[in-house]
Amino acid sequence: MTTATDPLEAYIAAAATALDLPLDPAWHAAVKANLVVTLQHAANVAAFALPDEAEPAPVFKA
Amino acid sequence: MSKDLSWSGAADIAQAVANGQTSATAVIDAALARIDTLNPQLNAFTAVTAERARAKARAIDAAPDKNALPLAGVPFAVKNLFDVAGLTTVAGSKINRAHPPAAQDQPLIARLEAAGAVLVGALNMGEYAYDFTGENVHDGASRNPHDLTRMTGGSSGGSGGAVAGGLVQLALGSDTNGSIRVPSSLCGIFGLKPTYGRLTRARSFPFVSSLDHLGPFARSARDLALAYDVMQGPDPEDPVCAQRAAEPAMPLLARGLDGLRIATAGGYFRKGAFPEALEALARIAKAAGASAEIEIPEAARARAAAYVITTVEGAALHLDRLRKQANDFDPAVRDRFIAGAMVPATTVVQAQRFRRWYREQVLKLFERYDAILVPATPCTAPKIGQQNFTLDGVDMPVRANLGLYTQPISFIGLPVVAVPVALSPLPIAVQVIAAPWREDVALRIAHALEQMGAAAAPRPNL
């Protein structure tokens, strides 16, 4: 059971305010479910150790 | 002489028009009639440009040298995220319907028409391309010509349905994480996702700049190569389009499998695979003489990284629309984008850093092999509206998993031809993956497989 003290729910509410995004309470559950999946994928990527010197794929050319 | 050319190839139609066996007008009239009859069932088209098509056909019929037009009279259509002069570029959305009509055709359309092909309309797609099903809450689901109760796959759903259903010989779509290859698989046709940066994206509605590709669908490898060759070449209007002269693949098709080193990839690309996916891969691997099974390292992590980049870049693109018109989105798409807007930016930086590492590792595989084979989709076409599928007693969501095998490949922009295998009752495709800029290799293999009968676009009972 999720409560108002669920950190992710608090994060979503704060992010919506910071981004000036209208967030209908009816959408919360689906937004949270999607965010949970994305954060899991992000954690999977972050778990792969790369040296500090590893460059990102896109390279800007002046 | 009137012969039903619906199931003829693009090259054959062009030859018949050039020879005077038929006229472009006759071909286009027949295509428009077929679209009129079948589109209510297939829901592939969202706009039919009949007047424009007939005018173009008349112009071709009046052309003095039709032999100079390699696609003379060939009907084609484009996913509705391509700009078509005079049409609003809806990109599968309700919101974009309020935009003014496009002033000019997308360059790939112009190049195909310069070669004699005739645009007949715009095609259905998943909203804003964030979709693997081909369903659309505003325009209705594209339906699979092999079974109208089943999805075409997406997001280029109408493109898959229109080509598989014999409405057009060629279609264009886009592929960010699988949106050409998934409908190719579920509809049983050939699809080419070229190398990232090969074909100009100018004047098409974007989704994820880091990952978007445009490409063709056809019912034969030869027609795919023909369309691809016509569309190649730099475009100063697209900063992502490579400054590479066209590298025609058609003249190389006849080389077949000669000298090519081909392997299958296992591990990740077997997980969640239904028996049909494995059967299709086995048939293609055998026909291609695939000599080894290799592992693509960290493919699962690559998929995860592509997922993160997709949701964040997509959210950034749509942020203003999410602020002002959230209720006009498909709710499923809206909620994914809202979540994407909230993802910490550091995750994208990490994903892009991993991307460079992954690319280097995968390119090492191409030092030993010219092509790698993996399934295109885990399963054949699910039912329209189906939410889950069950494999080995495990319930999995349809939408997210249709792109399982395509996502790690488009993540690093490798060229892929999806080759259909005519299993019964439903087709399914295999990805023939080549090294960057080696579309010729993938097309040669696809053509050879087709000549051998291992790959074929089956005709539906419509």
ipTM of the complex: 0.95
In the stretch 167-226 of chain B, residues with CB closer than 8 A to chain A read 210
Q: How far is B353 from chain A (nearest CA, A)?
A: 4
Write down the pTM of the prediction: 0.98
Note whether A55 contacts B340, CB cutoff 8 Å: no
- Amino acid B255: pLDDT: 97
User: What distance in Å separates the CA atoms of residue B361 and residue B359, rounded to the nearest whole number?
Assistant: 5
Does A53 contact B at CB distance below 8 Å?
no
Q: Which residues of B256-273 are buried (b: 16+ CB within 10 A; e: fewer)?
A: ebeebebbbbeebbbebb
Model confidence pLDDT, tens digit, residues B21-50: 999 999 999 999 999 999 999 999 999 999
Model confidence pLDDT, tens digit, residues B293-351: 999 999 999 999 999 999 999 999 999 999 999 999 999 999 999 999 999 999 999 99
Tell whether the model's pLDDT for residue B461 goes beyond 70. Answer: yes
Under the banding of pLDDT at 50, 70 and 90, the label for residue B163 is very high
Percent of chain B with pLDDT over 90: 95
Please state whether B74 falls in left (phi above 0), alpha (psi between -120 and 50) or beta.
beta
Model confidence pLDDT, tens digit, residues A13-50: 999 999 999 999 999 999 999 999 999 999 999 999 99
Q: Annotated catalytic residue: which of B142, B155, B159, B204?
A: B155
CB contact at 8 A, B248 and B213: no
Note whether B353 contacts A19, CB cutoff 8 Å: no
Residue B205 DSSP label: -
**Mean pLDDT over each residue of chain B, to the nearest integer:** 97
- Amino acid B23: pLDDT: 97
Q: Which residues on chain B are in Cβ contact (under 8 Å) with A55?
A: 353, 356
Question: Residue written as tokens 């494995």?
Answer: B278
CB contact at 8 A, B184 and B224: no
Please state whether B303 falls in left (phi above 0), alpha (psi between -120 and 50) or beta.
alpha
Question: Closest Cα partner for B237 from B65, B357, B107?
Answer: B107
Model confidence pLDDT, tens digit, residues B343-385: 999 999 999 999 999 999 999 999 999 999 999 999 999 999 9
Torsion from C-alpha of A14, A16, A19, A23, nearest 10 degrees? -160
Mean pLDDT of B425-452: 98
- Residue B459: CB atoms within 10 A of its CB come to 16
User: What distance in Å separates the CA atoms of residue B161 and residue B346, rounded to the nearest whole number?
Assistant: 39
Which site among B209, B335, B357, B361 would you substitute to test the A interface, given the most A Cβ atoms closer than 10 Å to its Cβ? B335
Q: What are B130's two structure tokens?
A: 């964030």
Question: Closest Cα partner for A47 from B373, B304, B288, B337?
Answer: B304
Q: How far is A57 from chain B (nearest CA, A)?
A: 4
Specify whether B159 is catalytic: no
> What 3-state class would DSSP assign to B118?
strand
List % helix, strand, coil for chain A (3-state, nearest 5).
55, 0, 45
Please state whether B144 falls in left (phi above 0), alpha (psi between -120 and 50) or beta.
beta
- Amino acid B393: pLDDT: 79
Specify whether B3 is catalytic: no
Does A32 contact B at CB distance below 8 Å?
yes
- Residue B349: CB atoms within 10 A of its CB come to 11
- Amino acid B2: pLDDT: 55
Q: Please name every residue paired with B118 in a beta bridge, in sequence order, or none if there are none.
A: B75
* Size of the A and B interface in Cβ pairs below 8 Å: 104
Which site among A24, A36, A41 would you substitute to test the B interface, given the most B Cβ atoms closer than 10 Å to its Cβ? A41
Specify whether B155 is catalytic: yes
- Amino acid B259: pLDDT: 96
> What 3-state class would DSSP assign to B69?
coil
Q: What are B22's two structure tokens?
A: 């038929």
- Residue B114 C-beta-side C-alpha neighbours within 13 Å: 11
- Please report, for residues A50, B51, B303, B310, B354, the alpha-carbon distance to residue B351 in angstroms, rounded to integers and kept in the order given: 11, 47, 10, 10, 5
Closest chain B residue by Cα to residue A11: B342
Q: Annotated catalytic residue: which of B23, B56, B66, B79?
A: B79
How far does CA B419 lie from the centroid of its chain?
12
Under the banding of pLDDT at 50, 70 and 90, the label for residue B291 is confident
Q: How far is B263 from chain A (nearest CA, A)?
A: 26
- Amino acid B366: pLDDT: 98
Model confidence pLDDT, tens digit, residues B261-286: 999 999 999 999 999 999 999 999 99
- Residue B171 C-beta-side C-alpha neighbours within 13 Å: 38
User: What distance in Å separates the CA atoms of residue B457 and residue B68, rounded to the nearest whole number?
Assistant: 28
Mean pLDDT of B141-170: 98
**Mean pLDDT over each residue of chain A, to the nearest integer:** 93
Tell whether the model's pLDDT for residue B409 goes beyond 60. Answer: yes
User: What distance in Å separates the CA atoms of residue A21 and residue B240, rounded to the nearest whole number?
Assistant: 31
Type of residue at B115: A
Does A7 contact B at CB distance below 8 Å?
no
Mean pLDDT of B87-99: 98
CB contact at 8 A, B16 and B5: yes
CB contact at 8 A, B411 and B388: no
Tell whether the model's pLDDT for residue B1 goes beyond 60. Answer: no
Note whether A56 contacts B342, CB cutoff 8 Å: no
Mean pLDDT of B181-209: 98
- Amino acid B242: pLDDT: 97
User: What distance in Å separates the CA atoms of residue B25 and residue B57, rounded to the nearest whole number?
Assistant: 5
